[in-house]
Amino acid sequence: MPELRVAARSWAVAPGSNLLDALNAEGFAVPYSCRAGSCHACLVRCLEGLPADARPEALSAAQRDEGWRLACQCRVDTDLRVALFDPLHDGLPAQVCALDWLAPDVLRLRVQPQRPLRYRAGQHLVLWNTAGVARPYSLASLPEEERFLEFHLDCRQPGAFCDAARGLKVGDPLRLGELRGGALHYDPDWQARPLWLLAAGTGLAPLWGILREALRQDHQGPIRLLHVAQDAGQHYLAEALRGLATGHPALQVELVTPLALPQALAALRVQSRQTVALACGAPASVEQFARQMFLAGLPRNQLFADVFVGHA
């Protein structure tokens, strides 16, 4: 049986064991969210030996050369010695600079990194608190214009990170993990094309950044943003979105509840084969968006989607 070693501890594992499961079963509490190789919360560094990797393309060549692997995607077939991601050593220091409840269960968290972080609207990174709890969140801030990093935390359901976030105060330290590019982005080549932005819940966060990036780049085509929330009080950026729509006649904002969503989606019709759609939210919402987009005539390769998975 292969031996797995972390620091001074070693133990035998069954051949073919998932590396993330093997570490957590031994009590190391490696964080994870998606288990699909997207969130990058479960980074570990291989010091001796290499596991079988189901998604080598999920990390850059430079990261892999340094031994980094995503534990959720790795299988232990031979002896392996790994080091866990240490936010104190491997993470970027940051501190909370603002906290606001935009809705009863939506916390806007703004953090100031120790050094400027270069990113694109729509990317996400892993936040670590001082207790070592990690969670990936999409960036809602506007690159280069806003010096803080903004995140929208959905606190409706219990979760180790969001539960602790309720007690955060301005000035509290956090650590930032790896910056990760998801499927969502704004391409300057889309400037004249119709742009649809479809969000459920705090799936609005990355699209809020992308919308403002598109407007900053003087997007010329029509933009349609649809946000679905459980009730009117959960449309947490309603006033800001309406303000943008007032100043940009090409922007149409629709705020709907789940009951009204099917009718709103059914009304969508692709008037141009150049239309691009970006969708973000829980898996069921994104699936509903995608299904209706295809029925509306949107080419499959013109829908970009990110899925928010359960709490951690």
Indicate whether 294 and 207 sit together in one domain. yes
Q: Is residue 137 part of a domain?
A: yes
Last residue of a domain, one of 67, 85, 103: 85
Is pLDDT larger for residue 166 or for residue 312?
166
Q: What is the mean pLDDT of residues 43-58?
A: 93
CATH of the domain at 108: 2.40.30.10
Q: Which residue has the higher pLDDT, 171 or 133?
A: 171
Number of domains in the chain: 3
Q: pLDDT higher for 169 or 132?
A: 169
312, part of any domain: no
Does residue 70 lie in a domain region? Answer: yes
The two beta strands, 106-113 and 173-180, are unpaired
For residues 59 and 170, give the distance between their C-alpha atoms in angstroms, rounded to a whole number: 33
**Does one domain contain both 107 and 94?**
yes
Domain end, chosen from 161, 180, 199, is at 180
Each residue's pLDDT tens digit, 243-268: 999 999 999 999 999 999 999 998 88
- Indicate whether 193 and 287 sit together in one domain: yes
What is the pLDDT of the chain when averaged over all its residues?
Answer: 93
**CATH (domain of 272):** 3.40.50.80
Give the model's confidence band at 65: pLDDT under 50 very low, under 70 low, under 90 confident, else very high: very high
Does 120 map to a domain? yes
Query: Which of residues 180, 202, 230 is at a domain's end?
Result: 180
| 79: confidence class by pLDDT, cuts 50, 70, 90 | very high
Q: Which candidate, 23, 10, 39, places its Cα nearest to that of 74?
A: 23
CATH code, 44? 3.10.20.30
For residue 312, what pLDDT is reported? 46
* In the predicted structure, residue 206 carries a pLDDT above the cut 50: yes
Together in a domain, 219 and 148: no
Contact in structure between 280 and 206 (CB atoms under 8 Å): yes
Does residue 167 sit in the same domain as residue 142?
yes
The answer to whether residues 79 and 101 belong to one domain is no
Same domain, 13 and 34: yes
pLDDT band at 60 (very low <50, low <70, confident <90, very high): confident
Are 6 and 23 within 8 A, CB to CB?
A: yes
Task: Summarize the confidence of residues 170-181 as an average pLDDT.
Answer: 90
Q: What is the mean pLDDT of residues 195-215?
A: 97
Short-list 224, 203, 225, CA closest to 106: 203
Residues 212 and 109 in one domain: no
38 found inside a domain? yes
**Model confidence band, residue 34 (pLDDT cutoffs 50, 70, 90):** confident
pLDDT for 12-28, tens place per residue? Answer: 999 999 999 999 999 98
In a domain, 68, yes or no: yes
Over pLDDT 90: what percentage of the chain?
79
The answer to whether 92 and 176 are in contact (CB under 8 A) is yes
pLDDT of residue 58: 87
* pLDDT at site 310: 56
104 and 39 within one domain: no
pLDDT digits (tens, 9 = 90+) for 285-299: 999 999 999 999 999
Do residues 139 and 164 both lie within one domain? yes
Average pLDDT in the 35-41 region?
Answer: 79
pLDDT of residue 132: 85
For the cut 90, the answer to whether the pLDDT of residue 208 exceeds it is yes
Q: Is residue 221 included in any domain, yes or no? A: yes
One domain, residues 134 and 239: no
What is the residue range of 133's domain?
Answer: 90-180
Kindly state whether residues 272 and 200 are assigned to the same domain: yes
181, pLDDT greater than 80:
no
Residue 205 falls within a domain, yes or no? yes
pLDDT-derived band at 31, boundaries 50, 70, 90: confident
